[in-house]
Amino acid sequence: MSKWKKTGSAFFLSVLEGISFAQQRFPKPEFETGYVQPSPETPAPRALFLEYLDVGVLFLVLLLASWLIYRKRSRRGILWLSVFSLAYFGFYREGCICAVGSVQNVALSLFRPEYAISLTALAFFLIPLVFTLFHGRTFCAAACPLGAIQDLLVAKPVALAPWVRKPLGLIPHLYLGLAVLFAATGTEFIICRYDPFVGFFRLDARFVMVILGIGFLVLGLFVARPYCRFLCPYGVLLSWMSRFSKRSLSITPAECIDCKLCAKSCPFDAIEKPTNRQAADVKESNAKRFLVYGLLLPVFVAGGCFLGGRAHVFLSKAHPDVRLAELLISQPEVRNDPDNIDVQAFLASGKTMETLIAGALVVRQEFYYGSLILGAFMGLVAGLMLLNQLAFREHTDYEPNKADCFSCGRCMDYCPVGKEVGKTREVGKNPGGWKNPGGLGKPGRCGKPPGFDEYLI
């Protein structure tokens, strides 16, 4: 009972002394029995050199992927490389950090002075883009764990008509725009939060995210790589790069004999048929529409700006300060709700309503400008996408669409020419095909790989 009294009275005293003395209400005892005080355990995070090692692995995987595609023309090699990436960047590294999410780190670093991006995150952002500018989307084929997990589960892909595919292609642009907006305003990292596959890599996720992830994988059995094609924001940047890449995958190592074997081999509908005369005629009649769409472009941009301006109030609600300020203004009674953690923490913090509102207004202003830019960007993208529908590019072979092709190499496997020639000649010495030494294109197409007319979108 005496112990009770001792601690009890000390406790009572401390309460009297109040908060100002909160650190040491009870002085540390002087032990007489030689008791040795332990120290709190502070296990170190993953070593920095291992983070740099990840960058090295990424670099090597991309190098190897280029070699496999342009020299070896090996679908199997790409497949195994993607399995490795899935194991390493996916299951071993548990999905963080990845190139897809690094977009947000870059945006945060550019717009928020208080955050300095780490070199590893920056490397994960830049290296795949640079590789893609030279060699096409080999990152998607072999290095991206999100792509790999979807690619391995392609079972019975159905072909999607262009009128389904193209409009859906707007979603990744919007997702990219929103991700940059939310990151730049310091709101949140939506790409990471809604990553459907990272839960598999960690073998731990919320129920909703598990359902979402399984949903994507099941959908992916029939609609190949649904996340890559209709959501991935980094894929937008990659497609910009690969549209103008110096090299790109060619289906045949030599002359296309128009056997049509590869036509259905691409699960991602990325192979374009040779154009015919009819299409060329259509092209002529398109000239007027081209002009109309061209004139519509500024209208689209202006419209996007308008919509963005209208949406900024709504979008800004994603920011916790704005949300809290709005809640406290519209429902002052939440102040008495002991279960509302955010409100109670705010009230306990001693901050005034004025500072909260002032902060929220600053955020909203940032959202205003950001949403204008986002709207203009979306208008531009939509307008260019329309224009691109009309762009006509003559080509005589079956060839991948440079922007959409993930460089997975499936189509190469289907091409009978490759097999024969590969045995008798050194295919590897001429990665772009026999008619285009150095891989710089094919006759009849201005000696250029596809892509010129498509640069719009």
Partner 1 sequence: MANNSSCNRRDFLESSIRLTLALAVGGVGGLAISKAATDDWVWQIDPFACTQCGRCADECVLSPSAVKCVHAFDLCGYCDLCGGYFIPGANALNTGAENMLCPTSAIQRKYIEDPYFEYVIDEGLCIGCAKCVKGCSAFGNGSLHLQIKQDLCVNCNECAIARLCPSDAIKRAPASDPYLIKGGFMEN
Binding stretches for ligand SF4 (CB under 6 A) = 100, 140, 144, 146-147, 227-228, 232, 234-235, 238, 249, 265-266, 268, 270-271, 400, 405-411
- What is the SS3 assignment for 399? strand
∠ CA 54-55-59, rounded to 5°:
115
229/149 Cα distance (integer angstroms): 14
Partner touching 265 among partner 1, ligand SF4, none, CB below 5 to 8 Å by kind = ligand SF4
Using the minimum distance from each CB to partner 1, give the nearer residue, 4 or 163: 4
CA distances from 142 to 13, 278, 282, 426 (A): 66, 38, 38, 24
Q: Which does 400 bind (CB under 5 to 8 A by kind): partner 1, ligand SF4, none?
A: ligand SF4
In the complex with partner 1, which residue's Cβ is closer, 78 or 108? 108
CA–CA distance, 100 with 232 (Å, rounded to integer): 7
Q: Is residue 345 part of the contact set for partner 1 (CB under 8 A)?
A: yes
- In order of 52, 55, 150, 229, the CA distances from 49 in angstroms are 5, 10, 30, 34
Ramachandran region, residue 333 (left: φ > 0; alpha: ψ -120 to 50; beta: rest): alpha
CB of 268 to ligand SF4, least distance (A): 5
What's the closest the beta carbon of residue 404 comes to partner 1, in angstroms?
17
Q: Which C-beta is closer to partner 1: that of 262 or that of 343?
A: 343
Q: Which stretch binds partner 1 (CB under 8 A): 35-43, 79-87, 276-284, 363-371?
A: 35-43
Q: How far apart are CA 270 and CA 260, in angstroms?
A: 14
- Smallest gap from Cβ 372 to partner 1, in A, equals 21
Rounded CA-CA distance 69/73 in Å is 4
* Residue of 157, 138, 160 lying closest to 147 (CA atoms): 138
The answer to whether 130 contacts partner 1 (rule: CB under 8 A) is yes
Site pattern 15..34 for partner 1 (x: CB under 8 A): x------xxxxxxxx-xxx-
What does the alpha-carbon distance between residue 62 and residue 24 come to, in Å, rounded to a whole number? Answer: 56
Taking the complex as a whole, the smallest distance from the CB of residue 396 to ligand SF4 amounts, in Å, to 17
- Say how many C-beta atoms besides its own lie within 10 A of residue 220's C-beta: 23
Instruction: Provide, rounded to whole angstroms, the least separation between the CB of residue 412 and ligand SF4.
Output: 7
Query: What does 13 interact with, of ligand SF4, partner 1, none (CB < 5 to 8 A by kind)?
Result: none
Query: Which x/- pattern, by CB under 8 A, does the window 231-250 give for partner 1?
Result: ---------xx--xxx----
Residue 114 to residue 117: CA distance in whole angstroms? 10
- Site size toward partner 1 (CB under 8 A) is 84
Of these, 17, 164, 167, 204, which contacts partner 1 (CB under 8 A)?
Answer: 204
Least distance to ligand SF4, CB of residue 21, Å: 22
Token output for 139: 């990152």
CB 128, CB 394: distance < 8 Å: no
The reply to whether 392 sits near partner 1 by the rule CB under 8 A is no
Of residues 172-191, which lie at the interface with partner 1 (CB under 8 A)? 188-189
Q: Which does 133 bind (CB under 5 to 8 A by kind): ligand SF4, partner 1, none?
A: partner 1
CA dist., res. 170 & res. 181, Å (int)? 17
The helix or strand, by DSSP H or E, that contains position 398, with its residue range, turns out to be: none
Among 18, 20, 40, 338, binds partner 1 (CB under 8 A): 40
